[in-house]
Structure 1
Amino acid sequence: MTRNLSGLLAPAAAVLLVAVVVAAVAGAWPPFVAVESGSMAPEVERGDLVVVTSTDRFPWGGLVGAAESGAPTTFGSAGDVIVFDPPDDGQRPILHRIAFPVTDGEDWTDRADPALLDGDCSTIAACPAPHDGYITYGDANGEYDQSAGIAPVVREEWITAKALFSVPNLGWFRIGVDAAIARLGVLPTAVGFGGLAAVTGGFGAVLLGRITARRDRSDHGERGGRNR
């Protein structure tokens, strides 16, 4: 019974160990973000899993906007892609690209791309900039977040992580877990997914054991035939 329990818990422990190691390297927790919208398509699609790091983590330290000289290429375009969470908007964290930094009181539309603006500074609530921060946008949105009213000028302290790369479709599990937590609560979700993992691990262990036993019998039969 102890061996069976260890076999059931081993996959979960391995997943947890991988997550802890990735978090230690990335300097962010959780070290993964599940994408819930298509605002960063086509490079990052809904359901993708994005690996993130702390914004000051070597060798990826600092934040650089798309309009700045020497901007890194992330997801096929210039500029860092960040995860930020404005404290008062009631939305889930946003994964978007930095356009450029702004300072308190600046009319940032003077150096913005006109194609990503809907109006001028007099018609945009986030202009002039109410504080130091960053102008951001989703690659597929075609407008700055601050022009579209998606987010205010992003303060640096709202930024929780910087994106490194994405893995297609691996985020659906995380999205499913988050949806279950929102509907059922943390404890029922943990029990449900833990039970599912245990059952899956148990079936896998039984199947592997039968395959191994059948192979052993086959090998034994072959050796017996040769001996005769």
Structure 2
Amino acid sequence: MGKKSISKGVIKDIVIVAVGVLVIWIGLQIAFGTQNPFYVVASGSMIPVLEVYDVLIVSGHEPFEELEVGDIIVFDRPSDHNRVIVHRVASILDEDPRTIRTKGDANPASIPGTDFPITEEEYIGKVAYTLPQVGYVTQLLKPPINYVIIAIVIGIMVVKQFTKRKREKELSFTDPMDSENPNTIEELSDIDKIEEDSEYSEPTELDTVENNEEISETNSDEIIEHNKETEEEKKE
């Protein structure tokens, strides 16, 4: 039963964490208007503005029609859509349909098929915030490190549940004389008071002997006086 309870507790914790991450992720998607608000810079084409391993927070709420020259945007490579690019808008090629050309700050010129032509179909979003070098964390999450981290997290959950079960068992077998049980101590203290009161209310052996001596002395005095009176009557 103990192992089943621990496993249920671990599963419950994992579900809570998973639901929490899912809720946060959905909230971020809604807030930034894109399916993936976070991107990690993987090349040096935008140095020195963007360094490798910088994390970009991208906003999809910025309309493609309102992009201006100088904006840094994230988009799918137009030639095959199998790679995400982050470059700066270099010029507007056409307005109907709107088509733009980009260029990496560190590149000497725009690359056909990569920097242009960019249409609304390729557009993902505009860079809103940059978190410098935070992307190093993603390197730590690559296999097998990510599996080790997951194992450690699950281990912590198991230990947490085991400790909780042990504490519950200790509380269920608490000694009635334990200081954590104030009602028992109060009852015992009341019993002590009753015993003390009874000691003072019941006569002791010494008190009984003294009382008997006093009674015997009183009776002897009364007998002597009675005999004196009888003798005087006889004489008369």
> TM (normalized to structure 1)?
0.55
1:65 maps to what in 2?
A: 69
Q: Does 1:95 align with 2:86?
A: yes
Larger radius of gyration: 2
Distance 1:2 1:171, change over 3 A: same
Alpha-carbon separation, structure 2, partners of 1:30 and 1:64: 23
2:101 maps to what in 1?
A: 135
Q: How does 1:120-131 map to 2 (within 5 A)?
A: none
Q: How does 1:145-164 map to 2 (within 5 A)?
A: 145-146=110-111, 150-164=114-128
Residue 12 (structure 1) shift: 3.4
Unaligned runs of 5+ in 1: 67-79, 105-130, 181-188, 214-223
Decide whether the 8 Å contact of 1:7 with 1:201 is kept in 2: no
Q: Does 1:83 align with 2:74?
A: yes
Decide whether the 8 Å contact of 1:36 with 1:46 is kept in 2: yes
The one-letter code matched in structure 1 to 2:127 is A
Decide whether the 8 Å contact of 1:36 with 1:175 is kept in 2: no
Unaligned runs of 5+ in 2: 1-6, 166-178, 180-236
Residue 172 (structure 1) shift: 4.5
Identify the range of structure 1 (9-18 vs 21-30) with the bigger mean alpha-carbon deviation.
Answer: 9-18
Distance 1:132 1:171, change over 3 A: same
The one-letter code matched in structure 1 to 2:131 is V
Residue 53 (structure 1) shift: 1.4
Out of 200, 204, 210, the residue aligned to residue 156 of structure 2 is 204
Alpha-carbon separation, structure 1, partners of 2:107 and 2:78: 24
Decide whether the 8 Å contact of 1:53 with 1:164 is kept in 2: yes
SS at match of 1:14: helix
Q: How does 1:1-228 map to 2 (within 5 A)?
A: 1-56=7-62, 62-66=66-70, 80-89=71-80, 91-103=82-94, 132-139=98-105, 141-146=106-111, 150-172=114-136, 198-205=150-157
1:111 maps to what in 2?
A: none
Alpha-carbon separation, structure 2, partners of 1:204 and 1:169: 29
SS at match of 1:103: strand
Alpha-carbon separation, structure 2, partners of 1:155 and 1:85: 10
Percent identical = 24
Aligned residues between the structures? 168
Alpha-carbon separation, structure 1, partners of 2:162 and 2:48: 44
Q: More helix by proportion, 1 or 2?
A: 2
> TM (normalized to structure 2)?
0.54
Alpha-carbon separation, structure 1, partners of 2:154 and 2:24: 21
Where relative contact order (Cα < 8 A, 6+ residues apart) is larger, the structure is 1
Decide whether the 8 Å contact of 1:135 with 1:144 is kept in 2: no
Distance 1:137 1:101, change over 3 A: same
Residue 210 (structure 1) shift: 9.0
Distance 1:40 1:200, change over 3 A: farther
Alpha-carbon separation, structure 1, partners of 2:148 and 2:19: 15
